[in-house]
A = this chain, B = another copy of it.
Amino acid sequence: MKNTFTFVLMLLVFSAKAQTLQSPSKEITLRFSISDSGTPLYQLDYKNKPVVSKSMLGIYLKGNTDLAANFKIDNVKTTTFNETWQPVLGEQSNIVNHYNELTVALSQNGTNRKLNIIFRLFDEGMAFRYEFPKQPHLNYFIISDEKSEFNVTGNHKTFWIPGDFDSQEYAYNETKISDINTDKIDLNNGIGLKSIAGKFVVQSPLMMKTDAGLYLNLFEAAVVNYPVMHLDVNPQTFAFTSRLVPNAIGDKAYLQAPCVSPWRTVMVSDDARKIVSSKMILNLNEPSKIDDTSWIKPMKYVGIWWEMHVGKSTWDYAGSQNAQNTESQELIASGKHGATTANTKRYIDFAAKHGFDGVLVEGWNVGWEDWFGNWKEEVFDFTTPYPDFNLAEINAYAQSKGVKMIMHHETSGSVANYERHLDRALELMKRYGYPAAKSGYVGRIIPRGEFHDGQTMVNHFNFVARRFADYKMMVNSHESSRPTGYHRTYPNYIAAEAARGNEFNAWSVGNPPMHETILPFTRLLGGPMDYTPGIFEIKMSAYDKTKKEQVHTTLAKQLALYVTMYSPLQMAADLPENYEKYPDAFQFIKEVAADWQESRYLEAEPGDYITVARKAKGSENWFLGAITDENARSTEIKLDFLTPGKKYKAVVYQDGSDADWQENPKSYAIKTIQVTAKSKIKLHLAKGGGTAISFTPVN
């Protein structure tokens, strides 16, 4: 990893109670000040217009003390930083990390406590964090509340989900700030465990659009040893305030100085593409702590998973009706178990035939007869396979076919139990050559009283990433807290779910067509998502005529998602037999890359559409994905991202002229054309549709 950077340090003589900092482009201006009562304040302008009006900053400590008032400025320091670094896996090979930084050193009258607030201004936004320096009067402390305000300047349009301490698996609500109210949403949405914090609490990343056409995003970066930040909303004043997730006894964070809070971020641009392509969150995280990253590789995989969601098979061996007290009985096979040796070999054969790197198998280990919904501590041991799953045979077979097996660790939320078994689980993976695992956290957390998004769980997810790194293994967490860039530091934390994934379409109201146009502006800013696209058999009636559920998509859109939803870990989620029905469309999934040299967001509007082109790493091939919401869309794309002078064969996978996500989702058309960097290409996306294109140089 080669870094080039410049570093300029400017020590300013302390002068006033107010400080100003600008982004490198000078489009964003931060003003910091101290109120008469000594409370830190900031405000933010974009192109000389306010986007965050005067907002307070402060921390409250357990025991009725605070770090929120009576401050004076001891010192200020500004620096400039400009570095280009190379992620192990990513949307682009080189990432520019360019910002101006202002550190305001505060001390509190009376207590002599010291608090630094560090601001960074990037061209696409602002970040700040609290720093608690080493000091005589603050060593161990417990945060009872953080009150970081984000007072936006109007009743913007928002894409919000409820502030829930246990789940982010919601579809987005597109409303004005004044209409945010979690009481108004339909909770019959398939989410198994909800812990909504209140009527006027939403999650970050929170994407907004102003009436003037500005795009605003509130989020955080580098959440390490700290709880997740949700946002209290004042629907009248348009003020957002940090709302930290508590632990079992109501505390928010246990810290020891010196330490830092996560970064709180405000992105702003009049071009939505600047938000969606921003690497600010990654840049705010620490560089990789893994020296040898040669074993961290992108993976496309298939797996025994969707067949359980569609009801073809089950995770459990004995049938879920055999739930109570199965440990005292011999399990009797129901005949519907998905994770059999024979079925796994079928997937291995399929993966080998079509060039997939890996095969995931869920339901391979004992415990699924009685695993869910009862806050049970000891469910899985992560090492004991069902009698019809022959670990040794399967892994030998996979190796003979050049396919990697992906382990599955469903914790059922019993994290204490998982941590007790983790080393044994990793040893088992090592013995059989598993390079990666998918973890799951479906259910209420144990230690009981903890939430998925509290400090304890944030630490758990990060610990698991580090422990996997000790074993040179990758991990992909589902139902975890949403990522905030820790995969820069531990790039083996290859992906996460942590949002509403594709499987909700199989058995709930599902994900509306706009869902995938919002995720890149929200969840994906923090890190890759294992969204599990690629569903070709879109209507569940194919499995059971009585079912009304369907994926809210056309088939072509499912292909486009491999480009629009960045992840170095991509599943081809549908069943082998469904892919075999559509080999021409499947060809795109087989060809599409999962790690990129370069990415160009060509068009983007949250809630409406995204078009992105990406160049595969170590290749001259480009791939384009374009998706739309519930509205059909026509657009013309300039192909000027292609290398000038080169000719490309472009295979266009598009919606059929009669395609419609509801009426005719499987209608698609494939055409092959020759293009150059000077070409333009017209795209016609059906309602809920998309287009995927592969570009291969022909000269």
Q: Is there an interface contact between A256 and B376, defined as CB atoms closer than 8 Å?
A: yes
Find residues 116-152 in chain A having any chain B CB closer than 8 Å to their own CB.
Answer: 134, 139-140
How far, in whole Å, are A463 and B419 apart by their CA atoms in the complex?
A: 13
Question: Which residue from B249, B424, B463 sits with its C-beta under 8 Å from A248?
Answer: B249
Q: Whose C-beta in chain B lies nearest to the C-beta of A421?
A: B423
A422 close to B (CB within 8 Å): yes
Q: Is there an interface contact between B325 and A258, defined as CB atoms closer than 8 Å?
A: yes
How far, in whole Å, are A47 and B325 apart by their CA atoms in the complex?
A: 43
A45 close to B (CB within 8 Å): no
Q: Is there an interface contact between A325 and B140, defined as CB atoms closer than 8 Å?
A: no
Q: Whose C-beta in chain B lies nearest to the C-beta of A456?
A: B447
A91 close to B (CB within 8 Å): no
CB 8 Å contact bits of A445-488 with B (1 = contact, 0 = none): 00111100000100100010001000000000000000000000
What is the copy number of this chain in the assembly?
2
How far, in whole Å, are A449 and B459 apart by their CA atoms in the complex?
A: 17
How far, in whole Å, are A419 and B421 apart by their CA atoms in the complex?
A: 9
Which residues from chain B contact A447 at a C-beta distance below 8 Å?
A: 248, 416, 447, 450, 456
Q: Is there an interface contact between A256 and B448, defined as CB atoms closer than 8 Å?
A: no
Find residues 415-457 in chain A having any chain B CB closer than 8 Å to their own CB.
Answer: 416, 419-420, 422-424, 447-450, 456
Give the secondary structure class of A's interface: loop
- 26 A/B residue pairs, CB under 8 Å, sorted by A: A134-B324, A140-B376, A247-B448, A247-B449, A248-B447, A248-B448, A249-B249, A249-B448, A249-B449, A254-B376, A254-B377, A256-B324, A256-B325, A256-B376, A257-B324, A257-B325, A258-B325, A416-B419, A416-B447, A419-B419, A420-B422, A420-B467, A423-B423, A447-B447, A447-B450, A448-B456
How far, in whole Å, are A212 and B47 apart by their CA atoms in the complex?
A: 92
Q: Closest Cβ of chain B: how far from A443's Cβ, in Å?
A: 12
Q: Closest Cβ of chain B: how far from A376's Cβ, in Å?
A: 7
Interface size on A (CB < 8 Å)?
A: 32
Q: Whose C-beta in chain B lies nearest to the C-beta of A424?
A: B423
Which residues from chain B contact A448 at a C-beta distance below 8 Å?
A: 247-249, 251, 254, 456
Question: Which residue from B251, B375, B419 sits with its C-beta under 8 Å from A140?
Answer: B375
Which residues from chain B contact A257 at a C-beta distance below 8 Å?
A: 324-325
CB 8 Å contact bits of A247-266 with B (1 = contact, 0 = none): 11101001011100000000
> Interface centre among A254, A447, A456, by most B CB within 10 Å?
A447
Question: Which residue from B251, B258, B374 sits with its C-beta under 8 Å from A256?
Answer: B374
How far, in whole Å, are A254 and B374 apart by their CA atoms in the complex?
A: 10
How far, in whole Å, are A419 and B446 apart by their CA atoms in the complex?
A: 14
Which residues from chain B contact A463 at a C-beta distance below 8 Å?
A: 420
Q: Is there an interface contact between B419 and A254, defined as CB atoms closer than 8 Å?
A: no
Q: Is there an interface contact between B258 and A374, defined as CB atoms closer than 8 Å?
A: no
Which residues from chain B contact A324 at a C-beta distance below 8 Å?
A: 134, 139, 256-257
Q: Whose C-beta in chain B lies nearest to the C-beta of A422?
A: B420
* Given contact pairs A248-B447, A258-B325, A416-B447, a sample of 5 additional A-B residue pairs in the complex whose CB atoms are under 8 Å apart: A140-B374, A247-B448, A248-B449, A249-B449, A449-B449
Which residues from chain B contact A258 at a C-beta distance below 8 Å?
A: 325, 328
Which residues from chain B contact A420 at a C-beta distance below 8 Å?
A: 419, 422, 463, 467
Q: Whose C-beta in chain B lies nearest to the C-beta of A447?
A: B447
How far, in whole Å, are A282 and B423 apart by their CA atoms in the complex?
A: 33
Q: Whose C-beta in chain B lies nearest to the C-beta of A450?
A: B447
Ranked nearest first, the 9 interchain pairs of A and B with the lowest CB-CB distance are: A447-B447, A248-B248, A423-B423, A140-B374, A249-B449, A248-B449, A419-B420, A139-B324, A419-B419
Which residues from chain B contact A450 at a C-beta distance below 8 Å?
A: 447
Q: Whose C-beta in chain B lies nearest to the C-beta of A420?
A: B419
Question: Which residue from B140, B416, B423 sits with its C-beta under 8 Å from A416?
Answer: B416
